[in-house]
Structure 1
Amino acid sequence: MTALVLSLTAAALVLAVLAWVPKSGSTLEIVISGLMLACLAAVGVLLLAGHGVHGWAERWWNVLLLLAGGLAVTGGGPLTTSVLALADRGNTRAQSTQKAGEVLRGGALIGALERMAIYAALVAGWPEGIAIVLAIKGLARYPELRSPDQPASVTPQAVAERFIIGTFTSVLWAVTCAGLLRSH
């Protein structure tokens, strides 16, 4: 079972890297992100059906630590843009929601750092780190969320919506990836 869990996690990581290739929010990115999510769900089911990582040799736990960490950081970006694209479908404010990404510059890098910090905090057994990361992000983004100098095509609601959806998706992804290692 250890080999299957590690193989599926590695496959999810490969899919995460591949998901960065297509255009952000494209159908191909959404499909690849869905497959990545399915791999992670299968890993979760396998760990829940078994004894989690309890009893694993330390070297295999360390391999899972690295794979899941890479997956947390790398996979969260495409998954977040896929969720945002799905949220925009059928939305009459889609253009302003998409343009909200221009207001919230640096989102991919900030999201990767956010996921890395959350993953590290949870794996280290310090869940309070999530609150600190989210507080820093919220305080740093507050001026952009309330700025009156936004383009006319971007509503403040669209910027806030993008921030909330993106943050929740990103955080949930990092928490899920860290949960693989905490499964006892």
Structure 2
Amino acid sequence: MAKLLYAFSTSLDGFIAGPGGDMSWLTPHLGPDPVVDELIPRIGALLVGRRTYGGDDPHRGTEGEGKAFGGGWAGPQFVLTHRPAAPAPDVTFVSDLREAVGKAKEAAGDKYVNVLGADIARQCLEAGLLDEILALPVPVLLGDGVRMFDRPGGEPVELELLRPHWYRVR
């Protein structure tokens, strides 16, 4: 059965996006990455937040075509939202978290469902649905933006190291 994975690039100070969700900071750091190259064929579906789906991204404009990872991946995407966008191939808009996770896991088969978006990842974690986390550090300090995980007043989350930068949620 599919596992839910939150895989993301992060600045060394813990931001996955700049102020306002700006992803342009990542563009100079894109390129061959053996971890990403190994991960992409293991992804069977995406679970995406609405802001991430239509956000400011280095590959903005391809979201309606299902082209994640700069066009290196294509397949079913499940966008968690109360504001559906225009229909797009392989994109399903769902308003309930558990329903979205269930549909994404079914579509992924025995591969990963990759979570895109910090808020969706937080919701999955709080609901006990997130299985693994892969944090890909990028050698830059942003100083401000969207944190990879933000839960003010929340309890610590215990993780088990599976391999460098890859963790199982306990």
User: Do the two structures share a fold, i.e. TM-score over 0.5?
Assistant: no
Whose relative contact order is higher, 1 or 2, with alpha carbons under 8 Å and at least 6 apart?
Answer: 2
Decide which structure has the larger Cα Rg and report it: 1
TM-score (normalizing by structure 2): 0.25
Whichever structure has more strand as a proportion of its residues is: 2
Whichever structure has more helix as a proportion of its residues is: 1
TM-score (normalizing by structure 1): 0.24
